């Protein structure tokens, strides 16, 4: 079974402060991890993939297989980072289906 846990429903920080959104997963195989973001009144969009090891909008995330975690980090939060963030796991589901399983999301608020 695939499971993604985001322990914080809400996270509030001040502008310029570091931010870390936690994500833990459970999966018996070799997963692919993603972070999706949803800004107010916008559609869900891909932020980054663990396999690409890239930094998007200053955010990074490292897959830690030992701790089964994929935490999202940014050293200096900006007000425009305020959004709902979802961690998602892509695991093999049979046939050719690599469906995404999402966490419940963390609402990040960056205060001025």
Partner 1 sequence: DTGVSQDPRHKITKRGQNVTFRCDPISEHNRLYWYRQTLGQGPEFLTYFQNEAQLEKSRLLSDRFSAERPKGSFSTLEIQRTEQGDSAMYLCASSSWDSGENYGYTFGSGTRLTVV
Q: Binding residues for partner 1, per CB under 8 A? A: 4, 9, 32, 34, 36, 43-46, 49, 51, 86, 88, 90, 93-105
Min dist. Cβ of residue 1 to partner 1 (A): 12
Phi (first) and psi of residue 3, to 5 degrees = -145, 140
Burial of 80 (0-12, 13-18, 19+ CB in 10 A): exposed
Query: Contact 100/34 with Cβ under 8 angstroms?
Result: yes
Minimal distance, residue 29 CB to partner 1, in Å:
13
Of the candidates 99, 58, 98, 100, which has an alpha carbon nearest to the alpha carbon of residue 80? 58
Which CB atom, from 15 or from 102, has the smaller least distance to partner 1?
102
Return the structure tokens found at 51: 């396999």
Of residues 89 and 110, the one with the C-beta less far from partner 1: 89
Q: Which is nearer to partner 1, 34 or 59 (CB)?
A: 34
Give the nearer residue to partner 1 in terms of CB position, either 40 or 96.
96
CB of 4 to partner 1, least distance (A): 8
What is the closest distance, in whole angstroms, from the C-beta atom of residue 112 to partner 1 in the complex?
27
Of 91, 59, 51, the C-alpha closest to 78 is 59
């Amino acid at each position: 079974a695939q499971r993604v846990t985001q322990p914080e429903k809400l996270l509030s920080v001040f502008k310029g402060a570091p931010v870390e959104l936690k994500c833990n997963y459970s999966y018996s195989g070799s997963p692919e991890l993603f972070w999706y973001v949803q800004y107010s009144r916008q559609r869900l969009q891909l932020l980054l993939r663990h396999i690409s090891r890239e930094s998007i909008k200053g955010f990074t995330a490292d897959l830690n297989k030992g701790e089964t975690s994929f935490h999202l980090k940014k050293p200096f939060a900006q007000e425009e980072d305020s959004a709902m963030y979802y961690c998602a796991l892509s695991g093999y589901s049979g046939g050719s289906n690599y469906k995404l399983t999402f966490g419940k999301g963390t609402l990040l608020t960056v205060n001025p």
